[in-house]
């Protein structure tokens, strides 16, 4: 049984008005986002494809994956994409006490500081996350949210979910999820993960073709 919305309803967005769900824009921009990377088998392919289309995106990275694959993370930065905090261990906020959750978010920031200190390969400006944060599974408590916002984080949600992680749907349905719901200002969620790889490799090129045909621009947050 599906336990998620492909198109985030307006009533949900109104329940959490301080979280960012989409953008009002007159620039015909779309905001593609990728959660859970970086990993060697998927993220470099995503980066190459984005470069082919001259598209920018935002990568909500898991800190542990940055630690394992720092060179891929640096490639995200050197390609001038935005990055955001997705916790260090991909924690579910509803199942994690507040202190542990906040500590895990801050552990991600420590990894980012290590990247910033490597001035031989990346500039400080490139390594900034702009305090973007996306909760894994979209789940965090009101208390966790308030603490993170008080610390200066911008909580980025979405209004279009590709559901590339859902093994019960076809790759064609995954594509339909995006194409039927995307519009100017949309924040679209994909995952550069092994779980989502098969669907992502089918869907992402077609979505980028669609956006190009519409003469929209893929922008970073």
Residues 6+ away with beta carbon under 8 Å from 84 = 58, 59, 60, 61, 129, 130, 132, 133, 134, 156, 221
Among 79, 191, 192, 213, the active-site one is 191
Residues 6+ away with beta carbon under 8 Å from 71 = none
Of 82, 59, 50, 77, nearest in space to 217 by CA: 50
The answer to whether 191 is a known catalytic residue is yes
The answer to whether 79 is a known catalytic residue is no
3-state secondary structure of 96: coil
Tell me which H or E stretch contains 98: helix 98-116
Among 35, 164, 166, 192, the active-site one is 35
In Å, how far are 31, 32, 97, 215, 217 from 185, measured between CA atoms? Answer: 7, 10, 34, 13, 10
Q: Is domain 10-218 classified as CATH 3.20.20.370?
A: yes
3-state secondary structure of 105: helix
> How far apart, in whole angstroms, are the C-alpha atoms of residue 15 and residue 69?
37
What is the pLDDT tens value at each position of the chain, 221 positions in all? 578 999 999 999 999 999 999 998 889 999 999 999 999 999 999 999 999 999 999 999 999 999 999 999 999 999 999 999 999 999 999 999 999 999 999 999 999 888 767 655 555 445 555 699 999 999 999 999 999 999 999 999 999 999 999 999 999 999 999 999 999 999 999 999 999 999 999 999 999 999 999 999 999 99
Model pTM score: 0.94
């Amino acid at each position: 049984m599906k336990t998620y919305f492909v198109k985030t309803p307006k009533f949900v967005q109104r329940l959490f008005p301080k979280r960012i769900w989409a953008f009002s824009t007159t620039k015909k921009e779309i905001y593609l986002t990728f959660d859970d990377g970086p990993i060697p088998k998927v993220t470099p392919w995503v980066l190459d494809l984005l470069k082919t289309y001259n598209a920018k995106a935002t990568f909500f990275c898991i800190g542990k994956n940055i630690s394992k694959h720092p060179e891929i993370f640096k490639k995200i930065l050197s390609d001038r994409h935005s990055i955001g905090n997705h916790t260090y261990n991909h924690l579910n906020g509803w199942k994690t006490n507040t202190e542990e959750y906040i500590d895990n978010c801050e552990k991600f920031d420590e990894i980012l500081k290590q990247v910033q200190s490597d001035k031989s390969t990346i500039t400080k400006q490139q390594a900034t996350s702009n305090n973007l944060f996306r909760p894994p599974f979209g789940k965090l408590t009101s208390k966790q949210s308030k603490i993170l916002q008080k610390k200066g984080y911008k909580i980025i949600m979405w209004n279009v979910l590709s559901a590339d992680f859902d093994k019960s749907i076809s790759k064609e349905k995954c594509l339909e999820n995006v194409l039927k719901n995307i519009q100017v200002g949309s924040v679209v969620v994909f995952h550069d993960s092994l779980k989502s790889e098969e669907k992502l490799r089918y869907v992402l090129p077609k979505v980028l073709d669609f956006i190009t045909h519409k003469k929209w621009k893929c922008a970073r947050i």
